[in-house]
Amino acid sequence: MTLTADRPAAAAGPAPAPAPAAPAPTPAPTRDGAIDLVRAACLVVVFVLHALMVGVSMGPDGPVLENALEGWAWFAPATWVVQIMPLFFVVGGYAGWTSWQRTRARGGTATEFVRGRIARLVRPAIALIAVVGAALAALALAGVAPDVVATASFRIGQPLWFLAVYLACTALVPAMVRLHERMPRVALAGLAVAVVAVDVLRASTGVEAVGFANLLFVWLLMQQLGFHLADGSVDRVAARSRRWIAASALGALALLTLAGPYSPDLFANLNPPTLVLVVLGVVQLMLFSLARAALRRWAARPVLSRLVARFGEWGMTLYLWHLPAFVGLAAILLVLHGVVGFGLPEPLTAAWWQTRPLWLVTAAVVTAGLVRVFARFERGSRVRRPSWMPHLPAGAAVVAGILGVGMALVVGFAPAPAIAALGLLGVALVGSAERAGRPGTAIMDGCALAPVGGRPRRSAPPVRVERGS
């Protein structure tokens, strides 16, 4: 028998290097009932707050439409509880992070994500501007006093600032998540420095317009904190430390507003946003994280779970249409007063407070009716772009959407600006469309929108309407 020696291993040459393993896709996050519950609660707060701001009374020169809470002595302290815009942007950041992770998990791109967000935000805005613009034009043609029409336009358009800002922030979610994954602390620190720099520059120059740069920096910072909540970073901090952070931030908030340069009215710090809202957001984030487990258990109750789900389906519709409902009801009260002498108690009096429960119930019923009619524009099938329609980059569509909303917000709902706004929003909607025949993508993964509008620093003056006008 012949023995044949095996070849030495060295003679066989180097073994081929193993192929690098493909990175495991990020698992699609599951929904969090506590997040959905807080988002629905934000809607309730903004609804009640704005409803209480509606003041319709009789003045020396006739009926007066005004912000009823403007002169309320307790309004500034109340804002420490009802100013929940920072919390909303935090949970919005959580929702954006989870939605983007779902998109990545199924192989979607940042462009697809942004296009889906544009569609969800732009469609209800188009319906609002078209209907309200036509209604106000009809009132003007019917001879309603121009100052009344102008006030209605101003009040209805107030919440649109949020839509423009949220559209910008949500379009930046993929880029900001990437930054968060690479350098999370640097991202937070950079945005915080930008917020402080804007406030300092505004105070030192006296140019109020400088402060509006914080419409981006403040809310991007709150969104970035939402990413830390979503990836578990906040929950990894010991509960005792989170309580200490919340207490320290609350102390800093008191120092900034009661002894510092900022107003203790937290809604006065909303337009433009200031450092105060960042500090408030830290307080709200810590408190929410501490209560999150209990809120999640509460949100799992069947009745509440179904109710919260409904809020998630038409959150933006409710936000956009609640003020038109209030303005319409105010107009009906003025008509009833002129025709049958219906009583209009002066705001903040005992009689006025006694009528608020009935007012809130009526406003809720009317708003629910409008939501039922217009919610179809918020939810819908993915828009398809015919092959003959020119391609519009997602970034250009975002800019068109922001400009369209800004047009209605700044100029109002008069025919010319309304038509221009609708044209820009139409461009944005075209930009959100996919080419016909391509696979569809999910629009929002259930990320509802429920912001708080707040009281502007420069509110419209009371409008006095002559009898019979």
Alpha-carbon distance of 324 to 310, in angstroms, equals: 21
Residue-wise burial string across 201-234, b where 16 or more C-beta atoms lie within 10 A, e elsewhere: ebeeeeeeebbebbbbbbbbbbbbbbbbbbbeeb
How many angstroms separate the CA atoms of 348 and 319, rounded? 25
Q: At CA 116, angle to CA 111 and CA 117, rounded to 5?
A: 100
CA 412 – CA 306 distance, rounded (Å): 37
Domain locations along the chain: 54-453
What pLDDT does residue 419 have?
A: 94
Q: What is the pLDDT of residue 144?
A: 79
Is 91 in contact with 315 (CB distance < 8 Å)?
no
Amino acid at 430: V
Strands 463-464, 62-67: pairing kind: antiparallel
- The first and second tokens of residue 82, run together, are 């009802």
**pLDDT attached to residue 452:** 40
Q: pLDDT at position 440, please?
A: 41
Residue 309 CB: number of other CB atoms within 10 A?
Answer: 16
> 10-residue block means of pLDDT along the chain (469 residues)?
40 47 49 89 93 81 76 91 95 95 92 88 92 92 83 86 94 96 96 97 93 96 97 95 97 94 94 96 97 92 85 85 91 80 83 93 95 81 58 87 92 91 91 58 39 41 39
> Environment class of residue 249 by beta-carbon count within 10 Å: exposed (0-12), middle (13-18) or buried (19+)?
buried
Report the alpha-carbon distance of residue 444 to residue 36 in Å, rounded.
14
Whole-number Å distance between alpha carbons of 224 and 173: 9
Are 187 and 107 in contact by the 8 Å Cβ rule? The answer is: no
Contact by Cβ (8 Å): 255, 292: no
Cα–Cα distance between 322 and 364 in angstroms, integer?
8
CA gyration radius, the chain: 26
Residue 426's contacts (CB-CB under 8 Å, 6 or more residues apart) are: 126
Which residues 6+ apart lie within 8 Å of 349 measured at CB?
A: none
